[in-house]
Structure 1
């Protein structure tokens, strides 16, 4: 049945007689020349039709043509991916970017890397997209592995991996300035790149003031600074150093009539990282490299409650206030050796060590620093026994201080039916380590009163720990094809997820005898029932010469409890219903641009999502669609290259909501001017 469905899709995409005719017109060399090379999936440089998993490549041309100013928006162009802005109220006023759903405001089941450095949060899971010290203008390409990839990148590479690859300093020599102004947002980015002998470097600085969505307390004032230096020691050795900083004010909180705590407020965040890479070239197919990085992130939040005088007891203070500082720090060291053992094989292997330090008195119920230690060994082998057959096999062995040891293997076979047409069949496994919030979230709000011996409290979360990692086994059948100017990537997938970590209500919940609870809504986390995620997704790209390009994506996804699932409580069943609805059944995106004469370029983007019901701070959102329009003009002025563009998001002002009904995205129009000199 799976093969029949795939063939139906292919015949719909191309008439079968044209399929047969065009195959003979495309040589093997021309075909390979058209296929982009990916670096992320197996840690080996491979054409996309030889990689062990489906992958979406978003290049610099696509990023610039789309006109995005928020990095998260670009992932709307990945089939099966969901983007929701301003998701939540408490340390979550931040885009949610998830693959195949199964998420609340924190997208915990996808790994995100920047030049190989993980920005996955150990306490929340997922990524704080607004807090990444990165300018969009410095991105060379983005590779998105659509499927589990723990074999290459370890735990939390569960449903997919995003790897953002920045430009080499040789590509950014000279100066650049970008000014953005429009609907409730302003921004300025400056960049200088230079060269001194064998040293090349760039410095990028930026400011952004984003007033977010109307009727929300979600303004962001963001400052970034990024430095990269590449130094060629000799013909074999190269050093790369990076430094990044992001800081500024973020607004959060609910309206007073809707909240007991978490009122509108402004918090300060800042983070920085330092990264050093050493690469030694050992031969045409051989390399040894070491990567080391350190990152530090602090959120300084002063939280106050609503007026509590309505409670039927006299209070010492009708308003409560507490400091909610969250600190995370990471040290990571990794080594990798790549070589070709024979004429038909290539191998990448290595290992790494990591230490995470986290402190959050409010979330974790202690002012102690939590430490998480991780060690790993990995290996990936590519074997080309005959001309048309590629076999990929790999595995990761990890040990961490929270859940112990895990082995996550992957195996796939790619067979080239003819030049330009490849079938892929694969099976992969992955794990997801519980976040600190899932394992140790212990949040209690104390309310002192004027009555002797009476202290009220609300125990919001109480996690006993001892969670097991989530586990996934993913099977896929994929097709990668190219006929002339049209390329297609289609896949059928079936994912079985075990030991799903889900919230449940603790009834009754334990509490000290000297404290009086004011509610019984205490939540905890535990390993619960199993899920299956299955469906079909496809991405197509059409290039008409050098002037026109069209990218289309479609996904159909079903999330269901395993047939043997039995729920132990109504809250657990309700949580699983939310997980089922956390991804639209059908979603579609289209981006098309055309270069006219005299430097003009026009872009049209169309995005359509089915209904969702997000867990946590989210709720039911109906099916929605919106159009983005962009018009740009490039011109030369003296020795400078200039571009001025006008972009309108949700250009026709449709009633478009994401994640929750309170996140209503109205038309946003902004003007951007870029000059390279």
Structure 2
């Protein structure tokens, strides 16, 4: 680990300390009409649904859970979902370019991180191409987010394959909570323009609706090597609606949909061709777009007996210079939550997913076949048993899936929770999860270089590629977790999670019949670590939160090829991460937020085509001031990356050179009426 003093000079420490001292002095002499909405005791009663597919209090969840609410998003100064996810201990977030991110949970970070399930209102947003997420397509209006639920660790028993190292569930507000008009606009040095217009109205006695339009333009960064323009500016526009209604006392329904269109820029390096000079740098102005429609219906048979059905359709298209891909997904999900007797809380469900894809192959990236339909069938059952009244619970369940790649997969778990007293909770779990193969791993071909002709031994150009493997199997995880939560009255809370993960059949590269490498399942190993969150609210005008995470991975690759993916797995996520946030209420209408983050170095950032793979540790400070001018009108001034100078956060493995993140500022106005 690098020394903190090198990253954070004493003059910066002095300014930061002085700034906090002056703020506290100001706050002590002011009244706090707009105090913090929740004390810590209330925070521990926050209800989440992602851990058990049912409503649970946060302090009763036998999993490593964290909730980002709307107030935390506003206080963070985040302009996107990835930026907001930096709040969560144990989540690795690194910016690759204006529009691209590397985001993972508990290690294995990369552009194509594939062990994290991400959902928006229950709609999975992973791409079957590589089992990961294109984050530039997830342009959710932050003002409409009710909360982001993050479960670190496996959740495959309830949510299925690819929920290996974590789940992110982005939950937007009901239409009844977004009535009236909201207009917001922002402009700054990097975020050149952000604008949102939203209108909500009650359509009849039992139905509410809203409609929104959103635009976000970002400027280019600079390359880390020579400070030239990275030409990665990004423009996104989206619109959508949501309707929520009731049918009597027992039935409720939701219908929502979104449209999105992106214009992205990137310099592709290297861009590989079958003719001289074989590799070059090419400016690529590409587009990505999509639309989705989701319907959900809930029926309450009784207070403890609820049936939920959901159906959605999702279309995405991405047209980059090295490949165009289109996906159409139809997904049906049914879950039934019911109380059986006095001690059994059951939830069971069935699911079906149909994915149709189509690829426009190029020399550099191609898939065989170029079009395919993939089906997934699933069912799950989980029982939470109250063994000791209001003291000890045991949860047992399993999911059974059938996919077109590996056939049947079984993903069980067992969890225990003990409430020692009103302020202390202990939990433990053992679970199995799998990450099923992607289209690229089964039938892809990625050309990494072309060997020029060298007569007479090499009479013609020879492309060298990584090729798919029809025998590629699922990656497997057995995860062991322990947790502890403590809440002392209304002032202090502590949340600690320990984990040990045993991995097998991880993605590697083996030999093929040609000079190519072939995807294989040759890596095994383990990871262990901890995640800690401590909150302290000493007064009505001051809230603080400290987050820390540690992870250590040890991998073994049976193939021992030059790409050394086992070393990348070990070193592509920061071993230590620290986050310290402070929220002051100054007077009646002024809110000051300071956010200090430390992220450890990456010794092997990725399987990069670029030479530079190491990423230095960095210390960062974000600060913002929110001025509530009057009810419904708010002005915000935000500074991001204020210390430490420019930095590289990640080295992409996907044909782009490392860019540097520098300081930026933006101002925002929000008006609701």
Shorter-chain TM-score range: 0.7 to 0.9
Q: By how many angstroms is 1:285 displaced?
A: 1.2
- Give the 3 Å change call, closer, same or farther, for CA 207–33 of structure 1 in structure 2: closer
Instruction: Report the alpha carbon displacement of residue 248 of structure 1 after superposing the two structures with TM.
Output: 2.3
Alignment correspondent of 1:238: 252
Matches of 1:448 and 1:583, distance apart in 2? 36
Task: Give 2:647's aligned residue.
Answer: 656
- State which of 169, 174, 182 in structure 1 corresponds to 2:175: 169
Aligned-residue Cα RMSD (Å) equals 2.5
Q: Does 1:481 align with 2:486?
A: yes
Counterpart of 1:285 (choices 304, 309, 312) is 304
Give 1:370's aligned residue.
Answer: 372
Partners of 1:454 and 1:297 in 2: CA distance: 42
**CA shift for structure 1 position 125:** 2.1
Unaligned runs of 5+ in 1: 1-29, 304-323, 511-519
Query: For 2:162, what is the secondary structure of its paired residue?
Result: coil
TM-score with structure 2 length normalisation? 0.85
Deviation of residue 460 (structure 1)?
2.4
Q: Note closer, same or farther for the CA distance 1:212–1:381 as it changes in structure 2 (3 Å cut).
A: farther
> What secondary structure does 2:86 align onto?
helix
Aligned twin of 1:472: 477
Alignment partner of 1:379 out of 374, 378, 381: 381
1:621 aligns to what SS in structure 2?
Answer: coil
Contact 1:299 1:326 in 2 (8 A): yes
CA offset at residue 32 of structure 1?
7.6
- The Cα of 1:266 is off from its aligned counterpart by 0.3
The 1:651/1:431 distance shift into structure 2, 3 A limit, reads: same
Establish whether residue 580 from structure 1 lines up as the match of residue 582 from structure 2. Answer: no
1:100-143 per-position Cα deviation (integer Å, ceiling 9, x unaligned) = 22132111010001111100111022211111242111100011
What does the per-residue CA deviation read over 1:175-222, in whole Å, with 9 as the maximum and x for residues that have no partner?
Answer: 101101001321111100111212201111111111142331211110
Could you tell me how far apart the structure 1 residues matched to 2:240 and 2:61 are? 32
Shift of 1:577: 0.8
Match of 2:8 in 1: none
Counterpart Cα distance in 2 of 1:127 and 1:354? 17
How far is 1:291 from its partner? 0.3
Q: Report what 1:20 is aligned to.
A: none
> Using the alignment, how far apart are the partners of 1:346 and 1:355 within structure 2?
31
User: What does 1:520-535 align with in structure 2 at a 5 Å threshold?
Assistant: 522-535=516-529
Matched, 1:213 2:221: yes
User: What are the superposed Cα offsets for residues 151-173 of structure 1, whole Å, 9 maximum, x if unpaired?
Assistant: 11000000000001110111100
Please state whether the residue corresponding to 2:100 is helix, strand or coil. coil
Task: State whether residues 624 and 657 of structure 1, in contact with CA within 8 Å, keep that contact through their aligned partners in structure 2.
Answer: no
The whole-number CA distance in structure 2 between the counterparts of 1:262 and 1:467 is: 32
Match of 1:54 in 2: 64
- Aligned residue for 2:420, secondary structure, equals strand
SS of equivalent to 1:125: coil
Deviation by residue 1:202-244 (Cα, 9 ceiling, x = unmatched):
1111111111423312111100112100121222111200101
Residue equivalent to 1:571: 562
Answering whether residue 415 of structure 2 is matched by residue 424 of structure 1, we say no
C-alpha displacement at 1:578, in angstroms?
1.1
Task: Tell me the residue number matched to 1:79.
Answer: 89
- The alpha carbon displacement at 1:448 in A equals 13
Q: Are the equivalent residues in 2 in contact too, given 1:54–1:146 (CA < 8 A)?
A: yes
TM-score, normalised with respect to structure 1: 0.85
Deviation at 1:366, TM superposition (A): 4.5
In structure 2, the gaps of 5 or more residues are 1-39, 223-228, 273-277, 652-656
Q: 1:447/1:527 Cα in 2 relative to 1: closer, same or farther (>3 Å)?
A: closer
Q: 2:664 aligns with which of 661, 668, 671?
A: 668
154-163 vs 375-384, which moves further: 375-384
- Return the match for 1:200 from 186, 205, 208: 208
The SS at the match of 1:438 is helix
Q: Determine whether 1:440 maps to 2:443.
A: yes
Deviations 1:436-479 (A, max 9, x none): 11221124599999x9x986452422123211101111111110
Does residue 625 of the first structure (1) align with residue 628 of the second (2)? no
Alpha-carbon distance change, 500 to 67 in structure 1, aligned in 2, over 3 angstroms = same
Picking from 217, 238, 243, the partner of 1:229 is 243
Provide closer, same or farther for how the CA distance between residues 583 and 200 of structure 1 changes in structure 2, counting only shifts above 3 A.
Answer: same
Q: Give the aligned length.
A: 604
C-alpha spacing 1:148/1:256, structure 2 compared with 1 (3 Å): closer
- Check conservation: 1:253, 1:265, Cα contact below 8 A: yes
2: CA distance between counterparts of 1:33 and 1:622? 36
User: Is 2:166 the partner of 1:160?
Assistant: yes
Distance 1:632 1:535 in 2: 36
Contact 2:44–2:57 (CA under 8 A) maintained in structure 1: no
